Structure 1
C-alpha cells in the first residue's frame, strides 16, 4: 500500500512539472541553469577537429599534431635542456615531422623563420615577448578562445608542454615555416605513408 501511494505521489509530481518543462521548450527558452552558458572557444574542441582546421594551412597539420602528442611531458622526459627550452621543443617538433628548425635555443630566432603572417592561423608558429628585450616564448597556434586570446601549444609553460591561453598583446609575430621546410615535411609524410602501405 505504501509503495502504491509513493508511485501515485511521484506520478502527480511529474505530471505537474511536465507543462512547465514543455512550455520552456515550446517558447524556445532554455532552463535557467543554462542561461549563462556561452561557448568558450570558436575553434577546434578535439585533436581531430584541430587536424581538419590545420589541414587548410600547408604543413601546419603535421607540426600541430606532433606537438599535441607531447602534452604534459617535461624537458627531461623529452631529452631537452631543463632551462628555457621552448625553442628547443619547437625545433624538436620540426625535426620529428621531417623539417629543419632554426638550430637556435632563442625563441626570437623564429621571428626570421619563414613567411611572416599578418594574423594568427591554426598551425602557425607564434613568438611572444617575455621579460627583457632579448627574451621570448615560442609555440604553435591551435586557435582562439571566446575572448580573443590565443590557444597555444608550447614547451616550457609551467615546465611542461601545455596548451595555454596567451593575450595577443604579447605577440611579436606569427610565422609560417619556409617553403623548403614545408616541402621536407610533405615528403616525409609521403614516405611514411608509402612505408605503411608496403607494410600492410
Structure 2
C-alpha cells in the first residue's frame, strides 16, 4: 500500500522543478546597447556627398519657390491691369450716360434760340439765355463732346439717322439736320437725325454713301 502512493508523492515533488525550468532566462547577448544602435560615423567622403545632396535639394526648393513667386507676381499684375481697365470702362460709361442726359437740355436751348422773335433778340433776358447756352456747351466741349457735321455730307449710318428720304439716284446726301448729333472723344454719342436726298451726282466732299438696305431707307 505504501508502494502505490510513492509515485504520486514523487510527481508532486517534481512539479516545482518543472515550473522553475519554464521561466524565461534573459540572455545578455540579445540586449542591444546604445552604441550598437547608432550608425557608424561618416567618413570625409560621405560627409561631402551628404552636403552636396542637401545643397542640390535646397537649390531645387529655391527654384520652385522662385517660380511660384514669379507666377504669383504675373497673376497679380494681370489682375491689377484688368481691374484698372474695368474701372476706366466704368468711368467712361458713367461719363457717357451723364453727358447723354444733358444733351436734351442743349437741344431745348437750340430750339428756343432758333425760334426767337427778331424784335426781342437784343433784350437782356435773351442775351442771358444765350450766355447760359454757351456756358453749358463750353462744359460739354471741355469733356470732349463735338458736334457731328451733317448737312451737305454723304449719309453715314454710323453718324446719321435718316427720318426721311426723297429723290432718286445712287448717292445719298444729307440735306437737312433735324436734331444735332454728337461725338464723345471720337466715339458717336448720339447720331444726328437728318433728312436724306438721293442724287445722281455725289456731293463735293467725298465720303461713304448709303446703299440699299442701310438705315434710313424708306
What TM-score does the superposition give when structure 2 sets the normalisation length? Answer: 0.21
Higher RCO, Cα 8 Å, sep 6+: 1
Q: Give 1 or 2 for the bigger CA radius of gyration.
A: 2
Greater helix fraction, Structure 1 or Structure 2: 2
